[in-house]
Amino acid sequence: MTRDDRPDRAAGGGRDGQGTPVGRRVVLGMLAAGAAGVATAPLLQRAYDSALGAAAQKDPTGLSGLLPGGGGFRYYSVTGSVPEKDAHHYRLTVDGLVRHRGGYSLADLRRMPQTRLVRDVQCVTGWRVPGTPFEGVRLSALLDAAGVRPEARAVRFTCFDGAYSESLTLEQARRDDVLVALRMQDKPLAHAHGGPVRLYVAPMYFYKSAKWLSGITVTEQVEPGYWEDRGYDVDAWVGRSNGRDDAPTT
């Protein structure tokens, strides 16, 4: 683990080192300890994972390590803490250039037809997790239900962490491998992974898959998202953007 373990590059930071984030040394130390845990005892590794998961959730920099639950996912949040929303408190709004604004509870979303996809996940910082099941409602179904107006060209996503945002063109948003995901790894989406509901954009770098999804707004044009304002490509196809040549995920 050398260049791939750093968090997403900071503004102006470049992928190859300038702007190395504060805390990298700490993260590397934790990763080294984790590798030792794997080698010695699965039980220790599990304890280590949950300790790191807890630490990750308290890390105000958002620069933290592997998530518990396996697979090699890393925890990312651009905010220090994110409120937890359960089935009673969760709400997804759909608005903007639509005929019928909508509001969905978790139960509403669960009642709709569900699609399950199994693809690799690729983060733009280098880490990749093979064959991960995601399951949820096709974004296109929500857009159809809302009745997109003819002048619309794009969709903007907002999150209940209060800071993150993402966007897609309408054409990208209507792909059948773009989900409003309720499940990941065949379990309800955990809070750390952006639960109860996150976006899942299978063919794009994982920063497109906005966690803690709370708003879908149909817009006239693409509005760059949080990381895109800080240098990431707006069209985030895996292997064809961000100067990277990873194998495609779809």
Ligand X SMILES: Nc1nc2c(c(=O)[nH]1)N[C@H]1C(S)=C(S)[C@@H](COP(=O)(O)O)O[C@H]1N2
Q: Which stretch binds Mo ion (CB under 5 A): 8-16, 134-142, 177-185, 234-242?
A: 8-16
Binding-site size, ligand X (CB under 6 A): 20
Q: What is the separation of C-alpha 45 from the centre of its chain, rounded to a whole number of angstroms? A: 25
Three-class DSSP labels, 97-137: CECCCEEECHHHHHHCCCEEEEEEEECCCCCEEEEEEEEEE
Q: How far apart are CA 140 and CA 180, in angstroms?
A: 9
Mark residues 91-130: x for contact with Mo ion by CB under 5 A, - for none: --------------------------------x-------
Task: State the nearest-atom distance from the C-beta of 20 to ligand X, in Å.
Answer: 17
Beta strands (DSSP E) in the chain are 92-96, 102-104, 115-122, 128-138, 154-159, 165-169, 178-184, 187-188, 198-201, 213-219
Q: Which of 138, 164, 141, 148 is nearest to 101 (CA)?
A: 148
Taking the chain, what is the end-to-end CA distance rounded to the nearest angstrom? Answer: 25
Binding partner at 242 among Mo ion, ligand X, none, C-beta below 5 to 8 Å by kind? none
Please state the closest distance from residue 150 (CB atom) to ligand X, in A. 30
| 207 contributes a contact to Mo ion by CB under 5 A | yes
| Segment near ligand X (CB under 6 A); pick from 86-94, 159-167, 173-181, 233-241 | 159-167
Nearest distance, CB of residue 77 and ligand X, angstroms: 5
Mapping DSSP to helix (H, G, I), strand (E, B) and coil, where does residue 90 land?
A: coil
Pick the stretch among 23-31, 90-98, 206-214, 239-247 that binds ligand X (CB under 6 A).
Answer: 206-214
Find the shortest distance in angstroms from Cβ 39 to ligand X.
24
Task: Report the SS3 class of residue 92.
Answer: strand
Stretch that binds ligand X, among 83-91, 92-100, 110-118, 209-217 (CB under 6 A): 209-217
Instruction: Answer whether 140's CB lies under 8 Å from 186's CB.
Output: no
Find the shortest distance in angstroms from Cβ 201 to Mo ion. 12
Residues lying near ligand X in the complex (CB under 6 A) are found at 8, 67, 73-78, 123, 159, 161, 164, 193-194, 206-207, 209-212
